Amino acid sequence: MNPSGSEFTLRVAICDLVERLKRMQHKCTYLEECRNQLVKEVIRLRLQNEWLSRQIEFSTIMFM
């Protein structure tokens, strides 16, 4: 049994949507990984900033 033209068009459209969904899922995974790396970097920089602030504060006290 041959599919009708509209059924064929629908199947092609569904296949296209499935492929687009797969690409979007891949992009979402990539963006989530990027977000996680950025969060880790922000945490690292905050900790570094706090440490440097304490060092400056300590140095200021020592040289008074």
Sign for the pseudo-dihedral over CA of 18, 21, 27, 30: negative
CA gap 58, 51 in Å, rounded: 10
pLDDT of residue 5: 86
Q: Residues 11, 3: contact at Cβ < 8 Å? A: yes
| Residue ranges per structural domain of the chain | 1-64
**For residue 1, what pLDDT band results from cuts at 50, 70 and 90?**
low
Segment holding 56, helix H or strand E:
helix 5-62
Residue 15 CA from chain centroid, whole number:
27
Q: pLDDT of 52-63, one tens digit each?
A: 999 998 888 887
Mean pLDDT on 7-30: 97
